[in-house]
């Protein structure tokens, strides 16, 4: 991707804000950077939802530490909105069961108690010892910027974010589903989210690249801002995958078939089958309620099941144009002519049911994504453009 003007959603980690990304934002002159505020959200899912509400329609997505886990949840919920994914000094597994998991809980709760009893800065001074490369702990400018960032948070926010991390979901299944260009970044001396974990993630994400920031710990974006910025910049310059003609043609055929299957299942009133053509968090915008999308398979199925059983339709799709943007993302536009009839009307001999008076011509704008080896609708917008009859 050439670094022309585009949007980037930069997700901060535990007790962090825009300061964690300051060294990158000032160098990303061609990116419109957005840093969300999680407020007092106490789950990874709630943080992802807040970030998505504040985000542009499509973006480069980067997450540091806890923000990386939020990024994976965002990709799970809305893969069609993510053009590129960058995960820094982060993890993907749930809190372990048993003694190890209990040890993590006790350590986090001890820090929270210290924050409540002695203040956020005092807690931060202790917490920072394992987060920053040992050689940088005497860098007053760096440590002070980290401590000031921590002081901008409250024990209430700290408690909410600890709760989110203790109950974090296992994102292992998400890794194998990622179909956008992905960069993993890790400080060489990160002992909290070690390099070995990022190597495991890289093996699970098809086509991903792993970059190591030398002489940096867990807070690599602040410890080595220039190295992190140049790593991301250089990767974005070359990250768009080149598809072969054969791969592109296969995606075009698959997405065309997806459009035709949707028309066929609608006409056969196979509404469960129609809903399965959508991503689990897919959205459907109907012509009659364009500002009120149906979100998720269950909502889509419920809406179609409300259709009268005596209504017969036939959809004829034409001028199907597929624009393949990556190995896991495509846009489709087509026109559709819709005929309808009522089974309660008597058939006209061998000519079948009489048509309703109105014949409509509409169009679909679809966003299609690769999902667990299948292509599905992440977003479908339907509208009517003309009609004939009453």
Strands 182-187 vs 329-342: parallel, antiparallel or unpaired: unpaired
Last-in-domain residue among 241, 266, 298: 241
pTM of the model: 0.76
According to DSSP, the residues that pair with 48 across neighbouring strands are none
The count of residues in the chain is 390
Q: Does residue 11 have a pLDDT over 60?
A: yes
Q: What is the mean pLDDT of the chain?
A: 93
Shared domain for 200 and 92, answered yes or no, is yes
Q: Report the distance separating Cα 32 and Cα 6, nearest Å.
A: 6
What's the sign of the alpha-carbon dihedral 47, 52, 54, 58? positive
Q: What is the CATH number of the domain that holds 307?
A: 3.10.450.50
Per-residue pLDDT, 5: 46
pLDDT digits (tens, 9 = 90+) for 305-352: 999 989 999 999 999 999 998 888 899 999 999 999 998 888 888 888
Q: How confident is the model at residue 29 (pLDDT cuts 50, 70, 90)?
A: confident
Residue 110 phi, psi (nearest 5): -65, -40
Residue % of the chain over a pLDDT of 70? 98
Tokens encoding 198: 């990022």
Q: Are 30 and 55 in contact (CB under 8 A)?
A: no
In this structure, of 37-41, 226-230, 286-290, 356-360, the range with the lowest mean pLDDT score is 356-360
pLDDT digits (tens, 9 = 90+) for 350-387: 888 888 877 899 999 999 998 878 999 999 999 999 98
Shared domain for 189 and 232, answered yes or no, is yes
Shared domain for 362 and 228, answered yes or no, is no
Helix (H, G, I), strand (E, B) or coil at 306: coil
Shared domain for 263 and 213, answered yes or no, is no
Shared domain for 167 and 306, answered yes or no, is no
Distance of alpha carbon 209 from the chain centroid: 19
According to DSSP, the residues that pair with 281 across neighbouring strands are none
| Domain count across the chain | 2
| Residue numbers of the domain that contains 254 | 245-388
Last-in-domain residue among 241, 269, 294: 241
Shared domain for 172 and 287, answered yes or no, is no
* C-alpha triplet 361, 366, 369: angle, nearest 5°: 155
pLDDT digits (tens, 9 = 90+) for 32-70: 999 999 999 999 999 999 999 989 988 999 999 999 999
Shared domain for 255 and 194, answered yes or no, is no
Last-in-domain residue among 241, 260, 291: 241
Q: What is the CATH number of the domain that holds 19?
A: 3.40.50.1820
Q: DSSP E strands: which ranges in the chain? A: 6-11, 31-34, 59-64, 82-88, 182-187, 209-213, 278-286, 289-295, 311-326, 329-342, 359-371, 374-388
Per-residue pLDDT, 97: 92
Per-residue pLDDT, 240: 67
**DSSP-assigned states of every residue in 348-365:** -GGG-SPBPS-EEEEEEE
Shared domain for 11 and 138, answered yes or no, is yes
Shared domain for 114 and 25, answered yes or no, is yes
pLDDT digits (tens, 9 = 90+) for 114-156: 999 999 999 999 999 999 999 999 999 999 999 999 999 999 9
Q: Report the distance separating Cα 186 and Cα 184, nearest Å.
A: 7
Per-residue pLDDT, 30: 85
């Amino acid at each position: 991707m050439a670094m022309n003007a585009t949007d980037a959603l930069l997700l901060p980690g535990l007790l962090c804000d825009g300061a964690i990304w300051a060294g990158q934002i000032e160098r990303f002159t061609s990116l419109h950077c957005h840093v969300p505020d999680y407020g007092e959200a106490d789950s990874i899912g709630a943080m992802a939802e807040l970030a998505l509400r504040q985000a542009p329609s499509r973006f480069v997505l980067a997450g540091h530490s806890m923000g990386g886990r939020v990024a994976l949840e965002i990709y799970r919920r809305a893969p069609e909105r993510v053009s590129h994914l960058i995960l820094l000094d982060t993890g993907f597994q749930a809190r372990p069961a048993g003694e190890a998991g209990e040890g993590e809980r006790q350590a986090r709760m001890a820090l929270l108690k210290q924050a409540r009893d002695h203040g956020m800065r005092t807690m931060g001074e202790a917490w920072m010892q394992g987060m920053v490369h040992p050689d940088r702990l005497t860098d007053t400018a760096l440590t002070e910027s980290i401590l000031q960032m921590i002081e901008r948070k409250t024990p209430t926010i700290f408690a909410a974010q600890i709760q989110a991390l203790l109950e974090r979901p296992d994102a292992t299944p998400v890794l194998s589903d990622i179909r956008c260009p992905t960069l993993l970044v890790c400080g060489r001396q990160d002992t909290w989210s070690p390099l070995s974990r990022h190597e495991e993630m890289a093996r699970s994400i098809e086509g991903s690249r792993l970059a190591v920031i030398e002489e940096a710990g867990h807070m690599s974006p602040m410890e080595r801002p220039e190295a992190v910025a140049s790593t991301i910049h250089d990767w974005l310059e070359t990250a768009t995958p080149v598809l072969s003609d054969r791969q592109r043609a296969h995606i075009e055929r698959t997405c065309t078939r997806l459009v035709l299957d949707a028309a066929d299942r609608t006409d056969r009133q196979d509404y469960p089958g129609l809903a399965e053509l959508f991503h689990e968090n897919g959205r459907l915008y109907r012509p009659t309620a364009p500002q009120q999308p149906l979100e998720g398979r269950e909502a889509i199925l419920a809406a179609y099941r409300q259709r009268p059983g005596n209504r017969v339709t036939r959809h004829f799709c034409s001028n199907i144009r597929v624009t393949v943007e990556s190995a896991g993302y495509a846009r489709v536009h087509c026109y559709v002519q819709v005929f309808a009839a009522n089974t309660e009307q008597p058939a006209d001999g061998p000519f079948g049911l009489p048509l309703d008076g109105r014949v409509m011509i509409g169009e679909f704008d679809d966003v299609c994504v690769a999902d667990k080896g299948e292509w599905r609708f992440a977003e479908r917008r339907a509208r009517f453009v003309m009609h004939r009859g009453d």
